[in-house]
Amino acid sequence: MNPLDAARRMVRDALGEGEICGTCGSRVAGLCRPLDAATLDDVLAEAEHVVFGARDYLFQEGDRAGHVFTLVHGTAKLVRLLPDGREQVLGFRFTGDVLGYTTGGTYPFAAQLLTGATVCRLDRHRLDALMRRYPSLERRFLDLCIQELAATQDQLVTVGRRTAEARLAAFLLSLAESGHRRHIDGPVLDMPMTRADIADFLGLTLETVSRGFTAFRRRGWIREPSHGRVEILRRDELTELTDGEPG
């Protein structure tokens, strides 16, 4: 069995049989999802699967932008570094999400894996050629970009105008939302990021995030059945906290 077929088998095993895009990964999102069969076949032929370990970087800030990635399985954070070494997490990406597309020559942020992951990697030059052939692919990227922009604007509102607990509530609700997008509708959510990651995402310190989780737990709003998992018990309370008065 050649390496590509091996990777495809791995993907099927990870996701279960079904309407899987063999190359670009997810049953629900991914790059190829809305493409027609002909386009899809050509994109498939150009892509390759790669397995990474936890904490590996898919790319660093400033690297030459040579590939576009689809997360077949795993979670990553997008981070921008500050001159003094602190970092701002721009967002988290989950199974099925697309990362690293830019029209510039270098990546404007780094992508670091939080878990081990399988990614589908497509060379930029090949992608550009495909886009010239299939304009629908370009349209697909425009849609993705507009979605990312809207999400980043949401985050700007959260960080700019909400209290610590309201930010945390917004984060938990967005976790649930992104699980929902991936048709993972069980009550218990995967939360592979550390308190420090969440703090760097919300513009807080890890201590403040930890106190927030403790407060929510004490009030019975959430439960943490194990490390790396949360269950939201009182969505209504969390929603009211994000939407309500600044206090």
**Positions in the binding site for DNA (CB under 7 A):** 163-165, 194-196, 203-208, 210-211, 213-214, 224, 226-227, 246-247
Check residue 6 for interaction with its own copies (CB under 8 A): no
- Cα distances (Å, whole numbers) of residue 171 to 4, 128, 162, 227: 37, 35, 12, 17
Q: Which amino acid, 106?
A: T
When the beta carbons of 185 and 245 are compared against its own copies, the nearer one is: 245
Which option in its own copies, DNA, none does residue 38 bind, with CB closer than 5 to 8 A by kind?
none
Q: How far is the CB of 144 from DNA (least distance, A)?
A: 30
| Long-range residue pairs from 147-151, CB within 8 A, at least 24 positions apart, any chain | 148/91, 151/91
Residues numbered 26 to 65 that lie near its own copies (CB under 8 A) are none
Q: Are strands 98-99 and 117-123 parallel, antiparallel or unpaired?
A: unpaired
Which position has the token pair 């150009």?
46
Query: Is there a contact between 183 and 176 (Cβ–Cβ < 8 Å)?
Result: no
E strands, 85-242, where?
87-93, 98-99, 110-113, 117-123, 188-190, 222-223, 229-232
Q: Which stretch binds its own copies (CB under 8 A): 15-23, 156-164, 173-181, 189-197?
A: 156-164
Of 44-52, 113-121, 154-162, 223-231: span binding its own copies (CB under 8 A): 154-162
d(Cα 103, Cα 105) in Å, to the nearest integer? 7
In angstroms, what is the minimal distance from the CB of 131 to its own copies? Answer: 8
**Residue 135 contact among its own copies, DNA, none, beta carbon within 5 to 8 Å by kind:** its own copies
Map residues 124-143 to x or -, x wherever contact with its own copies holds by CB under 8 A.
-----------x--xx-xxx
- 203 counts as binding its own copies under rule CB under 8 A: yes
Rounded Cα gap, residues 160 and 196, in angstroms: 19
The entry of DNA, its own copies, none near residue 165 (CB within 5 to 8 angstroms by kind) is: DNA
Q: What secondary structure letter does DSSP report for 214?
A: H
- 164 is a site residue for its own copies (CB under 8 A): no
DSSP-based three-state secondary structure for 93: strand
Give the footprint of its own copies on residues 76-105 (CB under 8 A): 80, 82-84, 86, 88, 90, 101-104
Phi and psi at residue 85, in whole multiples of 5°? 100, -20
Report DSSP state, residue 85: S
> Which residues of the shown chain bind its own copies in the complex (CB under 8 A)?
80, 82-84, 86, 88, 90, 101-104, 108-109, 135, 138-139, 141-143, 145-146, 148-150, 152-153, 155-157, 159-161, 200, 202-203, 243-246
